[in-house]
Amino acid sequence: MSKKETKQSGNVAHTSESLFGKENYTWMLAGIIVIAIGMIVMSGGKSSNPAVFDQKEVYSTTRITIAPLLIIAGLAIEVIAIFKKSKA
C-alpha cells in the first residue's frame, strides 16, 4: 500500500494531502503582489493633458525597464513557489 492509502474494514480510504504547504502559498501571494506592483508601475499616472503626447512620460525608464523587470521577477517567484518542496 502507498502512503496515501489506509485500510479500514476491507475498504480503501484515501487521505487527502495538500499539494502545496503554507510556505508555498506565502511565496505565491508574494509573487502575485510583485506582479501587481509591476502592472501598476507600468500603467503610470494620469497625464495632465490627454490630447498631448508626452514622449518622456510614455517612454520613461520606469515604464519601459523597471515595470517589466518587476513582472518577470514576480513570475520567477511564482515558479519558485510551485517547485519548492514543502517541509512537512
Within a domain: residue 31? yes
Within a domain: residue 13? no
pLDDT in tens, 22-43: 999 999 999 999 999 999 999 8
The winner for highest mean pLDDT among 11-20, 24-33, 45-54 is 24-33
DSSP characters for 55-82? HHHHT-HIIIIIHHHHHHHHHHHHHHHH
- State the number of CA atoms in the 13 A half-sphere of 65 facing the CB: 3
Distance separating alpha carbons of residues 78 and 74, to the nearest angstrom: 6
pLDDT in tens, 50-66: 888 888 888 888 899 99
The domain in which residue 66 lies consists of: 18-83
Higher pLDDT, 10 or 47: 47
Confidence (pLDDT) at 12: 66
Single-letter amino acid code for the residue at 44: G
Within a domain: residue 7? no
Within a domain: residue 77? yes
Structure pTM? 0.74
Question: 8: helix, coil or strand?
Answer: strand
Domain count, the chain: 1
